[in-house]
Structure 1
């Protein structure tokens, strides 16, 4: 491209693996954490808190309706009956439902920072969205600032596809092309969580007994030593909580600290809170109710929708519009998150009453929000009698005041 009369090109980087970070990237994005534990997208899901956070985000987005709308003359109308609208309502392909595809998108974003779907078009019209393994796709910026994707399909065939053939949804990015994967960039904290979890597993594998030693002033004979060893082997495998028979003046002395004394539990709590913060998931949504109260859970749930889910929904909506719709189209995609924001029955009733009395909603619009069928005469908007219209008070009995 030209800028101020000058030809601007982008330098191509040679694919030379000369650092551990590049090697990690070439092998799928894994890397060693400072705790000495290798962290990648697969084993990160073995951390209970990571699995629960990803599941909460994926299933929360997956259950929300994603619809195609059209804006005409200031009115917003739901588009139905066309193939593109059905694609994200009934299922983007033959083997996935719409919910499964949305869950797959969010899972890829949480673990790798990027989601890729192959857009199968027939005569220029999108017919299928086929999810791809993010590790099998490599974005490349050309000299003309267009993007191509080197894709390795499941049958091992490699193809280079244009940006019109790939739906690429990414998290926030430094280069505008590759989304930053939380697992890769937060690997040190996750490595500590994995190391702590592994330590706890080993502790309980050994019966969760503190270490110690036997002490005696006498010299044990071989027969006494072998009998003691056999007792300990039986004790560790199937004789837990049974008493030991000590002979030869043996005495037991505890020589190690308990898990609480070593702040093991405190470390696990801290890592759980840190991982929740990484995914913006309130702790009570992954069954951590230590600091939850009836007064703050509803507020935290609403904050979860606005702070954690809304960014995902907006990214997906904008990328679908850019990849599947024409630039001149007056159509757009929109998630319906009202079900998550409307609160309990009492709060919804008060909310609907205020909007109906203000003339903002008709009874049928309220019924639609509650998934109820319309009723006859339910399309009338109420106008308060104490409100002014065009700078003049509404006269009693005026046709503008409808009931």
Structure 2
């Protein structure tokens, strides 16, 4: 039996190095005062203090929760939306304590932090009654005789009654990888730079200093000299005249590296890109527009839907269809609507809808529904633009044939005036 506990990142010592170290080097952490100390474990709570991680988790979970999700049945005239208890559970409120947005936002937050979202299905004689969340950190999974079961709050659930969406499964098919664990090294570096930057600026931007010169004899005299320098630096920092007076023959020199010289700004920007890679997000959705342009930002929106949101939507749809309806679900299914995410600007949408109506792909009311506008009378008819006709004819008549010649035209040709 393997518990779904959040894994801790590897702890590693960074050896000091006095040479010039490029940003790409693992020893770059030494630039931030972490020589010879253990890096902190990257927990989920610690990782969420990195703005890029918090933005990625919030964006993905809220986007997935906001997607319209409905249950359908294939009818004679096409897909028919299901109502009743099943429609309420899927679209409105999975249980008595959570609406659909809150439930799915919580579910996807577990996927994009610890790496797994779980929920169990409450069934009644009439069908599905509710969906209830399961804490992945308090749930264990095991396989007996080829069948997987989940244990949560001292109760065992068969796999057929558990909605399970992992971020990435391990080779045994039971354990999983989470994005925060997979990106723990990049997150550690971001945390280290946050810590260094906060300490640097909390000290008024004054780096550690060394007093160089003929030091007084005895430990007590050295301590008094250091205290005098500390008071002078603090007084200069708090006053409008940042001048430090030191005795003749002495000199204050900075110890460590200037954040600008250590490429701190560039490194922090690079960490945003690294975290975006871990979540498969275009950087523009983490508010990183350093490589964004007017044209490629819209293309990144399409990339997001096609290669990220659409795939996660399919993962949840597959679980819901299998667990709610079984392998032989017949003509019922659950599906997200991604149209809202794929909408372009107003002019592009209007041009696309116009072409769809003119070529009998959408009725006017179907096009109005995509724009959240009410249906209108006579708007459920398909129209086909009649400008294209067979060679030698002028137009089409109501019966689909070519236009008939005039009644007074016995030979089929019109009289010339």
Q: TM-score normalised by the shorter chain: which range applies?
A: 0.7 to 0.9
Are 1:63 and 2:62 counterparts? Answer: no
Structure-2 residue corresponding to 1:107: 109
Question: 1:377 is paired with a residue of what secondary structure?
Answer: coil
Q: C-alpha separation between the residues in 1 aligned to 2:247 and 2:354?
A: 82
Q: C-alpha separation between the residues in 2 aligned to 1:335 and 1:240?
A: 61
Q: CA deviation at 1:187?
A: 2.2
Are 1:211 and 2:208 counterparts? Answer: yes
Q: C-alpha separation between the residues in 1 aligned to 2:45 and 2:132?
A: 21
Q: C-alpha separation between the residues in 1 aligned to 2:273 and 2:379?
A: 48
- Deviations 1:160-204 (CA, angstroms, capped at 9, x unpaired): 222233222223423444443222233223222222332323322
Q: C-alpha separation between the residues in 2 aligned to 1:204 and 1:126?
A: 56
Q: C-alpha separation between the residues in 2 aligned to 1:241 and 1:316?
A: 62
Which aligned pairs between 1:252-271 and structure 2 lie closer than 5 A? 252-271=252-271
Are the counterparts in 1 of residues 272 and 288 from structure 2 also a CA contact under 8 Å?
Answer: no
Question: 2:92 is paired with a residue of what secondary structure?
Answer: coil
Q: CA deviation at 1:86?
A: 0.7
Are 1:41 and 2:44 counterparts? Answer: yes
CA, structure 1 residues 26+294, in 2 after alignment: closer, same or farther (shift >3 Å)?
A: closer
CA, structure 1 residues 29+228, in 2 after alignment: closer, same or farther (shift >3 Å)?
A: closer
Are the counterparts in 1 of residues 92 and 99 from structure 2 also a CA contact under 8 Å?
Answer: yes
Structure-1 residue corresponding to 2:100: 98
Structure-2 residue corresponding to 1:121: 123
Q: CA deviation at 1:240?
A: 8.3
Question: 2:288 is paired with a residue of what secondary structure?
Answer: coil
Q: C-alpha separation between the residues in 2 aligned to 1:240 and 1:65?
A: 58
Question: 1:306 is paired with a residue of what secondary structure?
Answer: helix
Pick the structure with greater CA Rg. 2
TM-score normalised by length of structure 2: 0.80
Q: C-alpha separation between the residues in 1 aligned to 2:144 and 2:388?
A: 61
Are 1:345 and 2:323 counterparts? Answer: no
Structure-1 residue corresponding to 2:141: 139
Are 1:162 and 2:158 counterparts? Answer: yes
CA, structure 1 residues 235+321, in 2 after alignment: closer, same or farther (shift >3 Å)?
A: farther
Q: CA deviation at 1:46?
A: 1.8
Aligned residue pair count: 369
Q: C-alpha separation between the residues in 2 aligned to 1:27 and 1:366?
A: 47
Which aligned pairs between 1:272-287 and structure 2 lie closer than 5 A? 272-287=272-287
Runs of 5+ in structure 1 lacking a partner? Answer: 1-12, 16-24
- Deviations 1:206-255 (CA, angstroms, capped at 9, x unpaired): 3332333233458596876654343345556x558643233344433334
CA, structure 1 residues 164+235, in 2 after alignment: closer, same or farther (shift >3 Å)?
A: farther
- Deviations 1:41-90 (CA, angstroms, capped at 9, x unpaired): 2322222111101111111111111011111247111112x101111222
Which aligned pairs between 1:229-268 and structure 2 lie closer than 5 A? 229-234=230-235, 238=238, 242-268=242-268
Are 1:85 and 2:82 counterparts? Answer: no
Q: C-alpha separation between the residues in 1 aligned to 2:174 and 2:216?
A: 72
Runs of 5+ in structure 2 lacking a partner? Answer: 14-38, 402-417
- Deviations 1:277-304 (CA, angstroms, capped at 9, x unpaired): 1112221222111111111111111111
Aligned match for 2:190, one of 165, 189, 193: 193
Over the aligned positions, Cα root-mean-square deviation in angstroms equals: 2.8
